[in-house]
Structure 1
Amino acid sequence: MRMRVLGPVEVSDGRSWAPVSAARCRAVLGTLVAHAPQAVSVDGIVHDVWGSTPPASASAQTYTHVRKIRLLLGDPKGAILRLTDSGYSLGGGRLDVDAGCFEAGVTDGRRAFEAGHFEASLDLLETSLARWRGEPFDGCPPGERAVELTHRLTNLRLTAIEDSFQARLNLGRHRGVVADLEEQIAEHPFREPLWRQLLIALYRSGRAGEALQQYDRLRRTLADELGADPSPATRTLHEQILHESLPPAETAPPPDSVHPSTPSMLPAPPSLRQLPPGLPDFCGRQTEVADLTGLLDGDAERDQATVVVVHGAPGTGKSSLALHVARAVRERYPDAHFRLDLAGTSSDPRKPGELLTTMLQSITGFGHILPTSHDDRAALLHSLLAERSVLLLLDDATDAGQVLPLLPPNGRSAVVVTSRRMLPELPGARRLQLDGLTSSDALQLLARIVGQDRIDDELDDARAIVRLCGFLPLSIRIAGAKLLSRPSWPLMRLRKRLEDETRRLSELSIGDLDVRASLDLSLRSLSDDAVTAFDLFGLLGLSEAPIWLFGALLNTADYDDVVDELIDAGLLQQAGIDAVGQLRYRMHDLLRDYARQRAQQRGPEICRGAAARVVHSWTLLADTLRRSRPHNFFDPLDRPRSAAMDPLPPWVPRDEDRPDDSALGAVWIATERRSLLEAVRLACREGLVREGYGLAAVLGPLYDEYAVYEDWRATHLAVLACPDLAPSWAATLQRGLGQVHIYKGDIDTAGEYLTRALRTFQDDGNPVGAALANAGLATVARCRGGYREAENLLRDALAVIRSAGDPPKELVLCNGIGRLLVLQGRTDEARPWLEDTIALARRTADAHREAVALRDAGALELAEGNADLARRWLEDAAQTFWQLHDERCGAATLLQMGLVLAALADQERAIASLTEAAEFYHRHGLWDDEQRSLSLIADLRVPADGPRRSRADED
């Protein structure tokens, strides 16, 4: 088991690291670590954590936190966190605490130093220092003893740093230590031992003048800030440098400087440590950290370094993850650690030659004359790194050309590259795609910025904020920085501002952090077509879409290269192959917001053209499916002439990318529900009334068949809200809405819509439309118990439909009259209506209507006491409905079958049939039908004194 306190507090059960985020739990753990391996009593923990005035529940809380710590350590039985007579003791041979390992390593390193074993000392000290991931206890030591431990560890770290620098100086590595010394002096400007080491390093690097300048800088700093002079030891060193009397190094390594005109005699690379500090608030990403660490496992026998490309969309935290892992594994590469910014997303990415020069100057010093040709510089770098184990972090690469010349020629080295592109042209590279954070990691990051208490107080708003930030680290850091700089703001205020899509990207900007600016950089290297496709994708309102939609947006059949370009740039991701065989791609939510705003800036003409092609394409596919289902009663009566009906539409999906006609059905509707709904909304937003109505009208019968009632309602309402909608189109939509509300059991609203449709059809001189509206009103009357009224409406409608010569609709109305007669107990009259319906359905090959008539014939036979015959009719009907994937009619058949099976005294199968029907009705929000099914089940399960009359009997 392992524990880390040199940075964010984390524990591991041997499989993964888990943060200790709860403040009190972290405080108790800090006290245990500070006392380890000695035991500390519960009272001692309470005093250390809560001070002199603890709450009454402090002891109980301590026991609770001890249990949590044990669970985090995978130590439920207390083998590691033991309870002794003196209290709780943390440690033993089973626990590895980084603070203890650090102290032991530093002690060994200093002993080796004192013995004159400088190389061994340096290895031990640097290995120990590498355990630091930030300030102990993440800069917030939680108790008195933890504060004392933090001070001791911090001082010991500074001592270890100074000893490691001295070991490098004694080994003659003067040039390589200068930059590291300057970095430490910037953090500790009054620590004179570091200044003295810097002066020695500069002097022995042949930079005596700079050493004197640095001494003068130290003198001024001490005088201005402390009113003091340098110590006698520092003044003595200054005199020695001034008079060139500084003694040589304690060892006699090979000379550290050569004549600048002899590059062939350049020294072996010194020990360079150029990795910057990690982000103090880095958190989460356990899976990605483990994956990247594993990918860096190389093969020392290879003649090429291990290369891993961390790629992903802007703002996903690629650089932070790469640096975090690089610092964690750096001890594997003892000779050098480099970090280069390749500026790939800037307006001027760094050239390979410039990068080579930077690397060589880091290694050899700025005084050496380097070869003039690119190839010679690359060869020199390779020769310098050939026998060394080095780690390179190449940040923000734009292409493989920047990376290839820098690769070390051995398998003991590793290179981590970050890029918004996959860099597929980089041979042999391994790749890790980065996406947004998990919701818990995103919350943790926000908490580290603004404080856990603030998050706990407004948890729901915090969750909404990270969701609206798309779970992207960059966006969350910006949101956190805003909240941090506005401590009086409730989180609700920022949440409300982010919920406004029109200003979300503007809100995600503070100081140098700006999501929009980061996204702008990604578009600079794209072709015009790729930028256009990216922008127009924002119009769709979709997070993912099939590949052929990019062709519709660009009005071209040649769109593969554009899609590949967007993927390579990290702006689009593959979402796999869907259930009907289409390639699908997705775009991050914040990227879509950005794309939509850019699309709107292109002007209405371009947006309307792209929208029209998209809507036409969806209408083409939907109409192909609709025409394969001739039995549907709710076909649009007055369809506008649109792309789907034209012989030569302006744009159609390529055959290889669109689903086969055989795949168009229930699965396609389920797959594309969001796409179809957003296509109708897109048409309405862009003022494409004809196209919006055409798609909604074609979808109506499909939504009816596949029980997609909410989308049916939403599409029709969206188009009804459009201005300048033709009256006949409005009436068709109102008729559809009437049917939706019938299914939903809202009979009054259904009647209102159907009455409006009837009047509009009558005013517009459309007798067929009026007849179908009356058919809907007949259903309303039937649901209200007005069977005679319903029968008269259906007979009147049937006369009009027969005159119009529309057999499919005639079948529906004949069937409806037969059903009404059965409900009224007029079975002798009903039988010929149903028999004629079945015969006509078979002649016209309308399997669906035949099944509906068989279901009603089953109800007739049950009413006449022929339960066995009723069961056979219903079984045939159910089989047809399942073959046609018509779940709604299938559920109605199951409900009727329940009644038949009950009549046959098969209670178990009757309940099973009714339960399956109730589950369908519940799934689709058909509450009245669900309740009817449940009521029948209750009748079967609870015997009554006599048969209870159910609503099903009435209907």
Structure 2
Amino acid sequence: MRFELLGPVRVTVDGRPVSLGGTKQRMLLAHLLLNAGRQVTSGQLIDVLWGEDPPASAAANLQTYVWRLRQRLVFTGPGEGLLTRDGSYTLVLPEGALDVDRFRELRASAGRERDPEVALAALRAADELWRGDPLADLPPVPAWEAELGRLSESRLAATEERLELLVRLGRPAAALDELALLLDEHPYRERLWQQYLLALAAAGRRAEALAAYTTIRGRLAGDLGVEPGPALREVQAAILRGDPPAAEPARPGPLTGIRQLPADIADFTGRAEAVETLLAALAPRPGGVPPVAVVSGPPGTGKSALALHVAHLLRATYPDGQLYADLGATGDRPADPAAVLGDFLHALGVFGAALPAGATARAAQLRSRLAGRRVLVLLDDAVSAAQVRPLLPADGGCAVLVTSRSRLPDLVGAHHVELGVFAEAEARRLLSAIAGEARVAAEPRHAADIVEFCGHLPLAIRIAGARLAGRQAWPLGTLRDRLAGESGRLGELRVGDLAVRSSFELSVRQLPPDGVLAFGRLALLAGREFPAWSVDALLGRPAHDVLDVLVDASLLAPTGPGPGGQPLYRLHDLIHCYAVEVAGAEPAAGRDAAFRRSVSALLSLAKRAAQALPPAFGALCGEPVGWTLPPETERQVVAEPLGWFAGHRPVLGRTVELAADAGLAELAWQLAASTVPFHDLRGHYDDWRRGHLRALDAVRAAGHRFGEAALLRGLGQVHLYHDEYPEAAVALTRSAELFAGLGERRGEALAVAGLGTLARVGDRPGEALRHYRRALDGLVAVGDRGGEAQMHNALGSAHLQLGQWAEAARRLAAALRVARELGDSHREARVLTELGTLHRLTGELPESLAGLRAALAILEDLHDERCTAYALLGIGQTLLAGGELAHARGLGERALRVFQETANRLGEANALALLDQCRRALARGPWPSPMPATGTGD
């Protein structure tokens, strides 16, 4: 399978194109391909597909597009495919499957190649991958602009390199036409003009070359108010002198013995894109400022290994020497710039009295010594930009490569490359290179687990591979089992003087006290990805400053905006293991208070979000407990309640478990209960049941009767939805008893209403009426008008069951009136569904259809799949009654699919009955009469 972005987005299998669906689905694939191997959040994808104003259905539609995309893409390798984790998506491709990666590798290989003919062939092959502008068939997306700009710039740079090789190889005529076309598109690009002048001169057209220089000089001065740059001026001077056209400006004699780079990494693996980026960024700029590149990233991501590898690749580009210094950011005493300058100057032959005192004078002498030369300076493990600045040369023929755990944003003019963890394929290749390819190939599943437990962190994989290499008798499964336990994982990832824990410890040691405190407390959160407000709760104050410190130290990675525009951050799995150790060193009182604040803040947000959803009948929750965020922050965070719940669904469930384990029964049961409106709307019954059962253990252990009664009422509803009637009876009866004992009349009424529904679905309408009337009295007494509307609706359903049409109509009319007075569109739709049934049973088929279709429109807008299925079923039953068999069957099939997905056996049985009736009716032939216009009434 091949994936192509360099032109219209395309996927092929054995050369044949794969159908990718509509524009939105191709945009989804394009964004995943642009971020191949990296995690992409649902929020980012929604922004890409719908922009700043997504529809309410965006999250649901996104899931549909993802599902369809999975059906079209076929992967065969281990760990490949469209992976889902924590509500985010990662597209893991086979090596070499993406044309962008092949283009970059071909260009990088050309840069490494000493034979110009071979390099030219590689650049031609890279150019042939382009079929037009990247993603030319898709609408513009702001999130793509930077990456597409980089691709286009990289293509132009590769073209310049190819044309330069043609001139060097004595084929200037082959380059001139293409150069002329490119200059029409890029009339001020001086590198193209340099090549054009050199090609003209090499073709024997010296006068034309000089005229072309006059043209560009006039254009730059007249249009931009600038003179040509030094490199272009030097080309003109060389042509005037009659020098060989490709000759470089004269430089001072070569330096000798300046080869300070440590040895390259023998088994260096992956990072092809980063290598290409750095090679391009560190190209000499004769006459300009020296290129500077900074490689940053979390501890253990291989910053030094990458920088060292790139530095060795650049040795031929910087033949006058390579200077190296370890600046010791993670040590006890970071290097003094003056001392480093002294070492550099010693290497350049400055000794004794010739060596000035002080960093300022030494920096000036270093700049003088490097002027006109081509020297690469590698500064490893920098503390800050202030430490780096004195060590920078001034000549554009030199270059500086810096590594740092911090991003050094104040190092002006530097090109920044930020490393993350390896992609799956890179991680496996590194493990194979160290432990042995045959061993890894023999146990692919264990190998996949090992790199997963290493979090794809290069240092961890290197250590794991070294342990296996030193223990040839071990099967990979032995190390896999040792790494499986999270609590002991860091201890296992140690060999010789390499240890993952030590690497993390060095970074944390540099943090201020609040940073250390916040870092450890991150281990208390339920998920590895979390919003900024979570850290506010952990510290009990706004924590933007601390978050910035953790991000700058590369201990946290920003992952984009979350619900409400709150920044999201991610903690790497192995760094999380170390955070657990740091948290364990904090006194328990502070740690417990931080966790309580965190759960309290989450609970308050969940309650606020639930208030904006259709109310779930029977849901009960207590008063706010503990610490909360400022109201304005809460409003921003849950501005899109459905999206907030969907994004926090795993975290909510896990936090209920953590709160229960910590003995915070009140917080645990309230948090479980606050999720009911969302779970009810979306049919997440397993999550609903799991959270309630876990919280139920906690409230029973704490003797918390109200919480127990509320949770039993919720569990009773889940049992009803799953047609587990004996279990529902036990839970609802016990809930009613507990509420009655506490004098909680509303809770008792809600539990009794559940018993009424249990009787109704058990075909005991008379018993149902008694329960419903009792529940109605209780809800009216406490002023619960929403509950009152629900009970009128329930009474209407029971009267329908008894064939008492007039009483059913009276109760349903009362329910509809109260629902509309409350502005409760969800309850209105439920009543309209029941009225549709009444009208069908009384022969008023047009009225039935009108009410059911109105209900369907409301429910689809609210994304309530369960109730939507009942409306679809009702429409199907009415259409069947009117003889529209094909339409009835189609609606029955749609309803059946939802009932089966939500394990609703009663709904499934009704839908199957409808389909069977349609089948039999179709087999009998045409329906005898059209749908009547009116019914006969009661």
TM beyond 0.5: yes
The CA deviation at 1:366 is 6.1
Structure 2 match to 1:665 = 641
The CA deviation at 1:421 is 0.6
Structure 2 match to 1:708 = 684
**Does the 8 Å contact 2:610/2:641 carry over to 1?**
no
Q: Which amino acid aligns with 1:584?
A: L
Structure-2 change in CA distance of 1:477 and 1:939 (3 Å): farther
Correspondence for 2:281 among 289, 295, 301: 295
The CA deviation at 1:924 is 4.9
**Does the 8 Å contact 1:811/1:837 carry over to 2?**
yes
**Does the 8 Å contact 1:607/1:686 carry over to 2?**
no
Structure-2 change in CA distance of 1:102 and 1:908 (3 Å): same
1:524 aligns with 2:501: no
The CA deviation at 1:451 is 1.8
**Does the 8 Å contact 1:582/1:658 carry over to 2?**
no
Q: Which piece of structure 1 moves more, 490-499 or 540-549? A: 490-499
Structure-2 change in CA distance of 1:602 and 1:270 (3 Å): same
Structure 1 match to 2:791 = 813
Structure 2 match to 1:874 = 852
Provide the rounded CA distance (Å) in 1 between the counterparts of 2:293 and 2:804: 79
Q: Which amino acid aligns with 2:565?
A: G
Correspondence for 2:625 among 624, 642, 653: 642
**Does the 8 Å contact 1:582/1:659 carry over to 2?**
no
Q: Which amino acid aligns with 2:872?
A: L
- Give the secondary structure class of the aligned counterpart of 1:672: helix
Provide the rounded CA distance (Å) in 1 between the counterparts of 2:906 and 2:450: 39
**Does the 8 Å contact 1:747/1:783 carry over to 2?**
no
The CA deviation at 1:571 is 0.8
1:604 aligns with 2:588: yes
Flag structure 1 segments of 5+ consecutive residues without an equivalent: 1-70, 75-94, 106-265, 644-649, 948-955
Structure-2 change in CA distance of 1:466 and 1:745 (3 Å): farther
The CA deviation at 1:434 is 0.7
Provide the rounded CA distance (Å) in 2 between the counterparts of 1:426 and 1:463: 39
Provide the rounded CA distance (Å) in 2 between the counterparts of 1:698 and 1:629: 11
Provide the rounded CA distance (Å) in 2 between the counterparts of 1:578 and 1:834: 42
Structure 2 match to 1:169 = none
Q: Which amino acid aligns with 1:674?
A: P
Correspondence for 1:779 among 757, 771, 778: 757
Structure 2 match to 1:236 = none
1:698 aligns with 2:674: yes
- Give the secondary structure class of the aligned counterpart of 1:580: helix
The CA deviation at 1:279 is 1.9
Structure 2 match to 1:584 = 568
Structure exhibiting the larger radius of gyration computed from Cα positions: 1
**Does the 8 Å contact 2:885/2:922 carry over to 1?**
no
Q: Which amino acid aligns with 2:260?
A: Q
The 5 A counterparts of 1:58-457 are 269-270=255-256, 272-297=258-283, 299-302=285-288, 304-364=289-349, 369-457=354-442
Provide the rounded CA distance (Å) in 2 between the counterparts of 1:568 and 1:100: 39
Q: Which piece of structure 1 moves more, 377-386 or 883-892? A: 883-892
Provide the rounded CA distance (Å) in 2 between the counterparts of 1:289 and 1:621: 44
Correspondence for 2:497 among 490, 512, 520: 512
Q: Give deviations 1:750-796, integer Å, cap 9, x for gaps.
A: 34433432343344454443332232233334444444443433333
Provide the rounded CA distance (Å) in 1 between the counterparts of 2:480 and 2:280: 38
The CA deviation at 1:97 is 14
Q: Which amino acid aligns with 2:601?
A: S
Q: Which amino acid aligns with 2:261?
A: L
Provide the rounded CA distance (Å) in 2 between the counterparts of 1:100 and 1:329: 12
- Give the secondary structure class of the aligned counterpart of 2:256: coil
- Give the secondary structure class of the aligned counterpart of 2:675: helix
Q: Give deviations 1:881-907, integer Å, cap 9, x for gaps.
A: 244443432332223223333444445
The CA deviation at 1:554 is 0.8
Structure 2 match to 1:679 = 655
Provide the rounded CA distance (Å) in 1 between the counterparts of 2:908 and 2:823: 32
The CA deviation at 1:595 is 1.0
Q: Give deviations 1:682-711, integer Å, cap 9, x for gaps.
A: 322333222222322333334323433333
Provide the rounded CA distance (Å) in 2 between the counterparts of 1:333 and 1:593: 42
Correspondence for 2:713 among 725, 735, 757: 735
**Does the 8 Å contact 1:267/1:364 carry over to 2?**
no
Correspondence for 1:620 among 604, 613, 621: 604
**Does the 8 Å contact 2:793/2:831 carry over to 1?**
yes
Give me the TM-score of the superposition, normalised by structure 2. Answer: 0.68
Structure 1 match to 2:840 = 862
Q: Which piece of structure 1 moves more, 781-790 or 532-541? A: 781-790
Q: Which amino acid aligns with 1:424?
A: P
Structure 2 match to 1:720 = 696
Q: Give deviations 1:652-702, integer Å, cap 9, x for gaps.
A: 2473x5443871421221122233333323322333222222322333334
**Does the 8 Å contact 1:545/1:584 carry over to 2?**
yes
Q: Which amino acid aligns with 1:507?
A: E
Provide the rounded CA distance (Å) in 1 between the counterparts of 2:715 and 2:618: 11
The CA deviation at 1:642 is 1.6
How many residue pairs get aligned? The number is: 687
User: Identity of counterpart residues, as a percentage?
Assistant: 37
The CA deviation at 1:528 is 0.8
Q: Which amino acid aligns with 1:273?
A: R
**Does the 8 Å contact 2:610/2:677 carry over to 1?**
yes
Provide the rounded CA distance (Å) in 1 between the counterparts of 2:274 and 2:916: 53
- Give the secondary structure class of the aligned counterpart of 1:309: strand
Provide the rounded CA distance (Å) in 2 between the counterparts of 1:933 and 1:104: 68
Q: Give deviations 1:461-489, integer Å, cap 9, x for gaps.
A: 21111111110011111222222333333
The CA deviation at 1:914 is 4.1
Give me the TM-score of the superposition, normalised by structure 1. Answer: 0.67
Correspondence for 1:489 among 462, 474, 498: 474
Q: Which amino acid aligns with 2:692?
A: H
Q: Which amino acid aligns with 1:666?
A: L
Structure 2 match to 1:49 = none
Structure-2 change in CA distance of 1:641 and 1:400 (3 Å): closer
Structure 2 match to 1:840 = 818
- Give the secondary structure class of the aligned counterpart of 2:672: helix
Q: Give deviations 1:691-745, integer Å, cap 9, x for gaps.
A: 2223223333343234333332232222222231402211211211221233234
Structure 2 match to 1:216 = none
Q: Give deviations 1:88-143, integer Å, cap 9, x for gaps.
A: xxxxxxx99999969999xxxxxxxxxxxxxxxxxxxxxxxxxxxxxxxxxxxxxx
Structure-2 change in CA distance of 1:392 and 1:689 (3 Å): same
Structure 1 match to 2:779 = 801
Q: Which amino acid aligns with 1:277?
A: A
- Give the secondary structure class of the aligned counterpart of 1:330: coil
Provide the rounded CA distance (Å) in 1 between the counterparts of 2:642 and 2:118: 67
Structure-2 change in CA distance of 1:96 and 1:859 (3 Å): same
Structure-2 change in CA distance of 1:698 and 1:570 (3 Å): same
Q: Which piece of structure 1 moves more, 862-871 or 750-759? A: 750-759
**Does the 8 Å contact 1:854/1:877 carry over to 2?**
yes
**Does the 8 Å contact 1:630/1:808 carry over to 2?**
no
What RMSD in Å do the two structures reach over aligned CA positions? 3.2
- Give the secondary structure class of the aligned counterpart of 1:545: strand
Q: Which amino acid aligns with 2:455?
A: G
Provide the rounded CA distance (Å) in 2 between the counterparts of 1:412 and 1:914: 74
1:753 aligns with 2:756: no
Structure 2 match to 1:567 = 551
Q: Which amino acid aligns with 1:686?
A: A
**Does the 8 Å contact 1:794/1:816 carry over to 2?**
yes
Provide the rounded CA distance (Å) in 2 between the counterparts of 1:331 and 1:527: 43
Provide the rounded CA distance (Å) in 1 between the counterparts of 2:421 and 2:618: 44
Q: Give deviations 1:825-864, integer Å, cap 9, x for gaps.
A: 4434322221121122223333222211111111111222
Structure 2 match to 1:473 = 458
